[in-house]
């Protein structure tokens, strides 16, 4: 094989990878072997990884923005702007649930690629999915207990 062509393939792989590191800390350049970009499975895997990275970045910035907005609602409560506070809280929760359910859909559809290629981003997305379902379960337990004990 021509060394120049081989270097071009390596550059293509570096460009297609989400994060490229010599030690491959996050394991994003292909778990079981070297991704060549020619195999259909590797190509789909890279597309899934790119979509997961975008979703992870969206969730990261959404959590940061939600923190500041919820902190701002505490200020609004002290100023007795209750309607504005409730609207902001509703919008934060609505946005989180829309992105959250899309994240759950993405994790569910991409899960068959995760068995041989686990990385930090996929672990965080999975933890986020578990968090959403635990939050729903805890709300159900709270409402049931409140109904039973008539709080």
DSSP 32: S
Could you give the dihedral angle defined by the CA atoms of residues 108, 98, 67 and 91, in that order, rounded to the nearest 10 degrees?
-170
With vertex at residue 47, the alpha carbon angle to CA 45 and CA 49, rounded to the nearest 5 degrees, is 70
Burial code (b: 16+ CB inside 10 Å, e: under 16) for 134-143 equals: eeeeeeeeee
Q: What is the number of other CB atoms lying within 10 angstroms of the CB of residue 118?
A: 14
Check residue 12 and give its pLDDT.
53
Tokens encoding 142: 């709270």
* Domains of the chain, residue spans: 3-149
The predicted structure's pLDDT at residue 68: 93
Task: Give the C-alpha separation, 149 to 99, whole Å.
Answer: 34
Q: How far is CA 95 from CA 88, 89, 108, in A?
A: 11, 10, 20
Please give the pLDDT value at position 21: 44
Q: For residue 6, what pLDDT is reported?
A: 53
Q: pTM value?
A: 0.60
- Phi, then psi, of 141 in degrees rounded to 5: -65, -40
Residue 38 confidence (pLDDT): 44
The residue written with tokens 């390596």 in the block is: 10
Residue-wise pLDDT tens for the chain (151 aa)? Answer: 555 555 555 555 554 444 444 444 444 444 444 444 445 555 567 888 888 899 999 999 998 998 999 899 889 889 888 888 889 889 988 998 899 889 999 888 888 878 777 888 888 988 999 999 999 999 999 999 999 998 6
Residue 18: per-residue pLDDT: 45
Using the 8-state DSSP alphabet, how is residue 111 labeled? G
**pLDDT value of residue 57:** 92
């Amino acid at each position: 094989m021509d060394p120049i062509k081989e270097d071009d393939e390596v550059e293509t792989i570096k460009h297609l990878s989400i994060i490229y590191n010599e030690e491959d800390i996050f394991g994003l350049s292909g778990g079981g072997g070297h991704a060549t970009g020619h195999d259909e499975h590797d190509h789909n895997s890279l597309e899934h990884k790119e979509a997961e990275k975008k979703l992870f970045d969206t969730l990261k910035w959404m959590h940061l923005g939600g923190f500041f907005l919820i902190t701002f609602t505490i200020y609004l409560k002290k100023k007795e702007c209750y309607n504005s506070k409730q609207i902001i809280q509703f919008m934060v929760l609505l946005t989180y649930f829309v992105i959250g359910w899309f994240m759950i859909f993405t994790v569910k559809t991409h899960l068959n690629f995760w068995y041989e290629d686990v990385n930090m981003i996929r672990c965080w997305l999975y933890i986020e999915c578990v968090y959403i379902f635990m939050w729903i379960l805890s709300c159900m337990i709270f409402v049931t207990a409140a109904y039973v004990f008539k709080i």
